[in-house]
Amino acid sequence: MSKKILIVDDEQDIKTVLEDWLTQNQYEVFTASNGAEAYETIIREIPDLVIMDVLMPEMTGYQVFEKLKGQGDHVLNIPIIIMSGRPKMKDFFTDWKKYAFIPKPFSLDDILLKVREFLGEIDAEKLPVSAGPEAATKPAEACSSENQRYHVVFFGWSDDHRDKMKSSRIAHQFIPLFTLDEKEAFGQAIRTHPACVLAQCDPASEGWAAALNLRNRLMGMPTVQPIPFYVLCEEKNLERAAQDLALSQILSYKNEEELFEKSAVFLERFL
């Protein structure tokens, strides 16, 4: 039977990323958006573990913690992982029986290791020493071996362009993830921490707003280091694209041949 985990955070993207990650790792996941919902869910479901933010509307994580103290051992023995961008917050939870503090930005791998430790699935003494969020995986580090390849998320690429990119001269040197769906692209980027996200769209297209929203979501995620985001657009639309993005984030091209050549040269910089 799968262990039950409650994720509590008022930021939807964080809940989504953690829920997807833990579900993939065979846990049953519940979510709550504020402290009040968290308290009710804990009392009702008695999860095996809680992952909780501190500063939230209606009831803070600390207020949930204080309210739970009035419950029996079936609640007081639940391990709690506290997440916060304010390191001093950890001092408010030291008298909980089993707790850990993980600062934002965080690594999904660090979260998973702590979950497995608290649930007794691995021996804490055998855990690798974490380098912390500041040592988040970078493409160059991730590909220290000749046999390893990095991921690239291709967002908004047509089927025809996708097939041509897959057969390009450097395609064998990375793992391409193609999607037209913003939500799927976001999930792919968070799960794989790619070398970059490379979107193909023009300011006049329907996909432009989705590309900008994807960029903003990735920049706002408090996980590991920011994921580089770039857009390929036709040269005639460069001036309009520069109204929404920095020129350093835009790769312009004149024709289809130049689209693939510029993409290849650009991606080679990550090798």
Each residue of 77-103: pLDDT tens digit?
Answer: 999 999 988 888 888 888 899 999 998
Alpha carbon distance, N-terminus to C-terminus of the chain: 43
Of the three residues 101, 131, 161, the one that is the final residue of a domain is 131
The number of domains in the chain is 2
Please indicate, yes or no, whether the overall pTM of this predicted structure exceeds 0.85. no
Q: Residues near 181 by Cβ (< 8 Å), separated by ≥ 6?
A: none
Asked if 230 and 119 sit in the same domain, the reply is no
Of the three residues 131, 159, 178, the one that is the final residue of a domain is 131
In whole angstroms, give the CA distance from residue 214 to residue 197.
Answer: 10
Domain that holds residue 218: 139-268
In whole angstroms, give the CA distance from residue 8 to residue 46.
Answer: 14
pLDDT confidence of residue 223: 56
Asked if 95 and 200 sit in the same domain, the reply is no
Asked if 144 and 117 sit in the same domain, the reply is no
CATH number at residue 83: 3.40.50.2300
Token digits of residue 111: 């979260």
Of the three residues 131, 148, 163, the one that is the final residue of a domain is 131
Alpha carbon 246 to its chain centroid, in Å, reads 23
Asked if 230 and 257 sit in the same domain, the reply is yes
The whole-chain average pLDDT of the chain stands at 85
Per-residue model confidence as pLDDT tens for the chain (271 residues): 799 999 999 988 888 889 988 998 999 999 999 999 999 999 999 999 999 999 998 899 999 999 999 899 999 999 999 998 888 888 888 889 999 999 877 778 888 999 999 999 987 555 554 433 333 333 334 443 444 578 999 999 999 999 999 888 788 889 999 999 998 998 888 878 888 999 999 998 889 999 999 998 888 776 545 788 999 999 999 999 999 999 999 999 999 999 999 999 999 888 7
Q: Can you tell me whether residue 3 is helix, strand or coil?
A: coil
Asked if 67 and 10 sit in the same domain, the reply is yes
Asked if 143 and 119 sit in the same domain, the reply is no
Q: Residues near 138 by Cβ (< 8 Å), separated by ≥ 6?
A: 225
